[in-house]
C-alpha cells in the first residue's frame, strides 16, 4: 500500500498480528524487502510494517531533500497515519540513524528501539573522496556488485542476492547522493542522549562499514539504555545474512523489556 506523508508517498508492506507493532527502516541501498526473512520470524507475534524510504524502492522519488531529519520525520508521520499506539522502531544502518533521531524525540507510543549494524549519530569517519565515490556506487549493476561484495561476509541465496542488487539500483540520484554527501556526516549525537526507550544494538562482528568497535563507542556509548549484542562472523547486511538470528534476538529482547510484547 501507499501512505502519503510530508508530501511524499511511501510504499508500505504490512503483515502479522499482535498488540505491539514493529516498524522496519532499511539501509542505504535497501528497501522494505530487506526485512522479509526477519519478518517471517516475527509476524506470528507482532504486527510488522516495513516501508521504502523516500527516494528508494517503490516510494516517491520526487522529494527535494533526503536528510536524516527528513527520514525521521517520515517515519514519525507514517506511524501517526497508521494509527500505531504501541510500536518498536527497528532500523538498519542509515535507517538506524534515522531511528535514533526519532527515538530521541521520545514520541508517544515508542516501546523500544532496535538498531541493526547502526550508523553512528556522529559524523561517519570516512575519507571525503570515498564518500564522493559512494554517490555513484549504485549507478550500474557493476558498481552495485562491487559495493555488495565489500559489505557481505556470509553467502546469500542467489534470489536474495539478485533482490539486493536490484534494490541498490532502484532509487533516484538525489537519494543516492544525500547519504554520503550530507546525511552520513550529520551530527545528531547531542540528541541521542535523550533516548529513553530500551535499546538493543546488534552489531556484526565482521562488519566492514560500521565496525564493532565504532558501534560500541559511538552508538552504545552514547545511548543511555543501550544493550550491545554481537552477531558472530556477520558483515554489514545482517538482516539478509542472519535473518533468523536477528528475529530470535529481537523476540528475546522484547519479551524482557516490553510488557505484552510476546504471545
Which DSSP helix (H) or strand (E) runs through 96? helix 94-104
- Domain-embedded: residue 93: yes
Helix, coil or strand: residue 15: strand
The enclosing domain of 129 has a CATH number of 3.40.50.1820
Residue-level pLDDT at 262: 60
**Percent of the chain residues past pLDDT 70, beyond the cut:** 99
| Distance separating alpha carbons of residues 58 and 46, to the nearest angstrom | 24
Q: How many domains does the chain have?
A: 1
- Domain-embedded: residue 263: no
**pLDDT bracket for residue 263 (50, 70, 90):** very low
| Distance separating alpha carbons of residues 61 and 220, to the nearest angstrom | 33
Neighbours of 128 (CB within 10 A): 10
- Domain-embedded: residue 15: yes
- Domain-embedded: residue 261: no
Domain residues for 130?
2-256
Q: How far is CA 30 from CA 54, 161, 170, in A?
A: 12, 12, 9
pLDDT tens for 97-106 read 999 999 999 9
- Domain-embedded: residue 55: yes
pLDDT tens for 19-64 read 999 999 999 999 999 999 999 999 999 999 999 999 999 999 999 9
Q: Count CA atoms within 13 Å of residue 117 on its CB side.
A: 30
- Domain-embedded: residue 262: no
pLDDT tens for 172-230 read 999 999 999 999 999 999 999 999 999 999 999 999 999 999 999 999 999 998 999 99
Amino acid at each position: 500500500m501507499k501512505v502519503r506523508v510530508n508530501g511524499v508517498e511511501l510504499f508500505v508492506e504490512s503483515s502479522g498480528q499482535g498488540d505491539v507493532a514493529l516498524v522496519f527502516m532499511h539501509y542505504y541501498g535497501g528497501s522494505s524487502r530487506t526485512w522479509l526473512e526477519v519478518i517471517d520470524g516475527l509476524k506470528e507475534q507482532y504486527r510488522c510494517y516495513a516501508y521504502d524510504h523516500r527516494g528508494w524502492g517503490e516510494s516517491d522519488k520526487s522529494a527535494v531533500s533526503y536528510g536524516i531529519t527528513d527520514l525521521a520525520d517520515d517515519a514519525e508521520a507514517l506511524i501517526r497515519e497508521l494509527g500505531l499506539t504501541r510500536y518498536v522502531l527497528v532500523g538498519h544502518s542509515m535507517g538506524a540513524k534515522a531511528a535514533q533521531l526519532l527515538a530521541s524525540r521520545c514520541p508517544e507510543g515508542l516501546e523500544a528501539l532496535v538498531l541493526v549494524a547502526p550508523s553512528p549519530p556522529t559524523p561517519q569517519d570516512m575519507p571525503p573522496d570515498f564518500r564522493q565515490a559512494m554517490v555513484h556506487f549504485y549507478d550500474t549493476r557493476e558498481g552495485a556488485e562491487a559495493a555488495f561484495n565489500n559489505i557481505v561476509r556470509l553467502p546469500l541465496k542467489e534470489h536474495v542476492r539478485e533482490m539486493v542488487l536490484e534494490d541498490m539500483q532502484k532509487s533516484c540520484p538525489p537519494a543516492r547522493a544525500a547519504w554520503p554527501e550530507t546525511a552520513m556526516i550529520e551530527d545528531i549525537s547531542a540528541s541521542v542522549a535523550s533516548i529513553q526507550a530500551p535499546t538493543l544494538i546488534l552489531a556484526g562482528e565482521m562488519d566492514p562499514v560500521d565496525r564493532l568497535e565504532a558501534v560500541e563507542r559511538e552508538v552504545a556509548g552514547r545511548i543511555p539504555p543501550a544493550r550491545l549484542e554481537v552477531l558472530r562472523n556477520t558483515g554489514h547486511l545482517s538482516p539478509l545474512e542472519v535473518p533468523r538470528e536477528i528475529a530470535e534476538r529481537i523476540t528475546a529482547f522484547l519479551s524482557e523489556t516490553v510488557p505484552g510484547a510476546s504471545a
